[in-house]
Amino acid sequence: SAVISQKPSRDICQRGTSLTIQCQVDSQVTMMFWYRQQPGQSLTLIATANQGSEATYESGFVIDKFPISRPNLTFSTLTVSNMSPEDSSIYLCSAHTPENTEAFFGQGTRLTVV
Amino acid sequence: GNSVTQMEGPVTLSEEAFLTINCTYTATGYPSLFWYVQYPGEGLQLLLKATKADDKGSNKGFEATYRKETTSFHLEKGSVQVSDSAVYFCALSENSGTYKYIFGTGTRLKVLA
């Protein structure tokens, strides 16, 4: 299994600013992902964070808005850029190891944009 | 494309009642199926999983059987407790090496004492 720590756990930000969310895994993992959970809704995959290369974004999400880094096999960051109130969501980091069939999730970052 | 359809909530039950939360899926190939639970203010925790047809996942009194013929993975528990109050998500993972998850909309369960 893998334990995932996310920072910050929550934040309130002014519109037009950017926030970087950190995701640290306690072991090396092959795949890392970022999801968004809008209020009262399900999880939507933003992108796959690729180690050493550009992230792979899902339809509707772009690098300029959600730049992602993954410098090594245990760490990734997601930046929410030029925020608007519509970006208010929970952002979750997820990781997958080849030894397990299931993904593990961080506790999430609750973002409120005012 | 692949999708997961989950019964809408909220579901309100009395303690010790029987629980069923329906989940059906559409997928090409042979996905793995999961139920995740999200307690208030917390992240997602894996509740149970099934990786092939006719597999039964079980944990903490919850069960779900991977039914390929009906493309379903319904969650059941014989006797719910107040502590089971949470949001339950059905999900599938495409076994294509991408490990992407597709989630249902989530079902909020409230159990009353």
Please write the tens of the pLDDT for every residue from B10-47: 999 999 999 999 999 999 888 999 999 999 878 889 99
Please state whether beta strands B11-14 and B107-112 pair in parallel, antiparallel, or not at all (unpaired).
parallel
Which of A42, A101, A105 lies closest to B43 in CB terms? A105
Buried residues in A47-76 as b, exposed as e (16+ CB within 10 A): bbbebeeebebeeebeeebbbbebeeebbb
Chain B interface, best mutation among A34, A105, A107, A109, by max B CB count within 10 A: A105
* Whole-number CA gyration radius for chain B: 14
Q: Which of B43, B49, B51 is the closest to A92 by Cβ?
A: B43
Cβ proximity of B35 and B47 under 8 Å: yes
* Spatial contact of A104 and A95, defined as CB atoms under 8 Å apart: yes
Question: What percent of chain B has a predicted confidence (pLDDT) above 90?
Answer: 80
Instruction: Extract the tokens encoding B32.
Output: 């793995």
- Residue ranges for chain A with pLDDT beneath 50: none
Structure tokens at A19: 């926030």
Q: What pLDDT, on a 0 to 100 scale, did the predictor assign at position A95? A: 93
Percent of chain A exceeding pLDDT 90 equals 74
Residue B101 to residue A33, Cβ atoms within 8 A = yes
- Residue-wise pLDDT for A19-40, tens only, equals 999 999 999 888 899 999 998 8
**Residue B113 to residues A80, B81, B87, Cα–Cα distance (Å):** 41, 8, 18
